[in-house]
Amino acid sequence: MRYYPGSDSHYQSTASAYLLPNKDSHTSREPRSRVLQPLLVLFAVISATKPSEAPPELAKTGEIKSADELERLNGEVVLQLYEALELRDAEVVQLLIAADLEWWFHGPRSHQHMKRLLTGDDDNFHFLIHSVDAFGPTVIVEGTDLAGAVLWVHAWTVSDGVITQVREYFDTSLTVTRVGSSSSSATTPAAGGHCLPVWQSRLPGSSGRSLPGLVLAI
């Protein structure tokens, strides 16, 4: 995984690096498919006695005619990834992410929790989800840590049921605007944005905190 220093640090790697296999990976078990609810989902440790479920069904855009349905399925794919990471289920993670997943990170290095989870390192951070919103292939997830002291936003890109890009922001007020093609994506200082926003961070305002702002164009 290559690292480029700066305020908006960039990572790029391959799926083979994500989630080192469990020591018991040779045993037979099925990946889980339960889709978590989008609001206030606490990814707690799930009992090992819970029965196994069928593999998740990925969204196949070729079969989808409704834009709303496609956005819903893209959101489900992202939520399945959060659950698979909590369960340390490498098989499901590798089904959900592209081999050339593109990664961007903005925030303190101490908060690179998703990176550590994806690479199989130990990390005790729990992502408490407060909202999930989809705009075409882009899925925006906002949340906090368990104590509500750390704010984060993930912007995922989903294509044919597979996650191809993620942008992660910690302690940042994010504004998302739609400009030009939905396939383009860039991050610029919030002060320079003049487009009508389609999404804005909710948590900084509700917590009364003043955070640096960025604009994400999709």
Residue 44 has pLDDT above 60, yes or no: no
What is d(CA 94, CA 84) in angstroms, rounded to the nearest whole number?
A: 10
Q: What is the mean pLDDT of residues 139-150?
A: 94
pLDDT-based confidence at 43, cuts 50/70/90? very low
Would residue 94 count as lying in a domain? Answer: yes
Which phi and psi angles does 73 have, rounded to 5°? -70, -35
- pLDDT tens digits for range 91-105: 998 899 998 889 899
Distances (CA, A) of 56 to 26, 91, 101, 138, 208: 20, 11, 20, 20, 39
Would residue 179 count as lying in a domain? Answer: no
Residue in 83, 78, 105, 108 with CA at minimum distance from that of residue 19: 83
**Under 8 Å between Cβ of 183 and 102:** no
Q: How many domains does the chain have?
A: 1
Structure tokens at 170: 């910690």
Residues 6+ apart with CB under 8 A from 77: 56, 58, 59, 96, 139, 158, 161, 162, 163
Q: Structural domain of residue 164, as residue ranges?
A: 2-171
What is d(CA 79, CA 58) in angstroms, rounded to the nearest whole number?
A: 12
Element (H, E) at 179: none
Would residue 185 count as lying in a domain? Answer: no
Would residue 200 count as lying in a domain? Answer: no
Name the more confident of 47 and 75: 75
**Under 8 Å between Cβ of 82 and 129:** yes
Would residue 87 count as lying in a domain? Answer: yes
Structure tokens at 191: 């002060």
Structure tokens at 2: 């290559």
Would residue 100 count as lying in a domain? Answer: yes
Q: What is the mean pLDDT of residues 168-188?
A: 74
Would residue 66 count as lying in a domain? Answer: yes
Name the more confident of 24 and 188: 188
Would residue 199 count as lying in a domain? Answer: no
pLDDT given at position 122: 82
CATH number, domain with residue 125: 3.10.450.50
